[in-house]
Amino acid sequence: MKHQRSRRLPSILLPAILMLGMISILSASAATPPLHFIQARYDNLGLKGAISVAISPDDKHVYVASEAEDALTVLSRDSLNGSLKLVEVERDGVGGVDGLNAAWSVVVSPDGEHVYVAGRDDSAVAVFSRNPASGALAFLEMEKQGVDGVDGISGAVGVDISPDGDYVYVAGFDSDAIAWFEQRSREWAVSAACMVLVIALLVLVLTSALADRIP
């Protein structure tokens, strides 16, 4: 009998050992927090009143909207450890930039070519083109409440873009509304430029023809 029990002992203990091992692994996983703090950047980088953050689709850059500084801070990102370094700070009223008064929300387009910022006190959306290599921005335009038919973005506090990159949506806190804009493609811009060029050439030809007829 003792000999038989000694043979059965491993078969009895093996499931128990496996079960204990699984319980230990699950307990360790449950006890491990999902986040681990690495570092922080402070308001000497234009981050006073930082309120919104967006990461470029290529994971190379981080953009932070700062309500108190009316600014958009651009940071490069180390893909190995996630650390950040300052690239530049875009400020409302500096270098022709407009629409960042009380910058409240920021989003990067899916193709990584544009960055949009909702400016609450400007009741506007600022549009920037993005350099994919450096992450640096160039101001393009501002869409503002009450200008050129724009409506529904008074007190703009949120901005997002559709996954296909075709439409930009803006939440207007004071308007109690959401407005949307169509993002014109590069092809559209090229077509428009070609059209302007054709019209200019036609005007030139007609002007020359009329000049030849005048004695």
Q: Are residues 179 and 190 in the same domain?
A: no
DSSP string computed for 109-122: -TTSSEEEEEETTT
**CA 50 remoteness from chain centre:** 15
d(C-alpha 119, C-alpha 100), whole Å: 5
**Number of domains comprising the chain:** 2
Position 3 scores a pLDDT of 52
Report yes or no on 215 lying in a domain.
yes
Q: Are residues 170 and 213 in the same domain?
A: no
Q: Are residues 202 and 178 in the same domain?
A: no
Q: Are residues 133 and 144 in the same domain?
A: yes
pLDDT digit of tens for each residue in the chain (215 aa)?
455 554 554 555 566 666 666 665 555 555 567 788 888 877 677 899 999 999 999 999 999 999 999 999 999 999 898 999 999 999 999 999 999 999 999 999 999 999 999 999 999 999 999 999 999 999 999 999 999 999 999 999 999 999 999 999 999 999 999 999 998 755 544 554 566 667 877 777 766 666 666 66
DSSP string computed for the chain: -HHHHHHHHHHHHHHHHHHHHHHHHHHHHHHS-S--------GGGTTTTEEEEEE-TTSSEEEEEETTTTEEEEEEE-TTT--EEEEEEEETTSTT--S-TTEEEEEE-TTSSEEEEEETTTTEEEEEEE-TTT--EEEEEEEETTSTT--S-TTEEEEEE-TTSSEEEEEETTTTEEEEEE---HHHHHHHHHHHHHHHHHHHHHHHHHHHH--
Q: Are residues 48 and 144 in the same domain?
A: yes
Report yes or no on 97 lying in a domain.
yes
Task: Report which of 29, 51, 28 is spatially closest to residue 119, judged by C-alpha positions.
Answer: 51
Q: What is the pLDDT of residues 29-65, one digit of tens each?
A: 555 677 888 888 776 778 999 999 999 999 999 999 9
Q: Tell me phi and psi for residue 13, to 5 degrees.
A: -75, -30
Report yes or no on 2 lying in a domain.
no
Position 188 scores a pLDDT of 47
Verdict on whether the full-model pTM lies above 0.85: no
Q: Are residues 56 and 150 in the same domain?
A: yes
Position 112 scores a pLDDT of 96
Domain range for 203 is: 186-215
For residue 153, the domain's CATH number is: 2.130.10.10
CA-CA-CA-CA torsion sign (170, 136, 42, 53): positive
Q: Are residues 176 and 197 in the same domain?
A: no
Q: Are residues 90 and 64 in the same domain?
A: yes
Report yes or no on 197 lying in a domain.
yes
What's the mean per-residue pLDDT of the chain? Answer: 84
Q: Are residues 67 and 83 in the same domain?
A: yes
Position 16 scores a pLDDT of 60
Q: Are residues 120 and 76 in the same domain?
A: yes
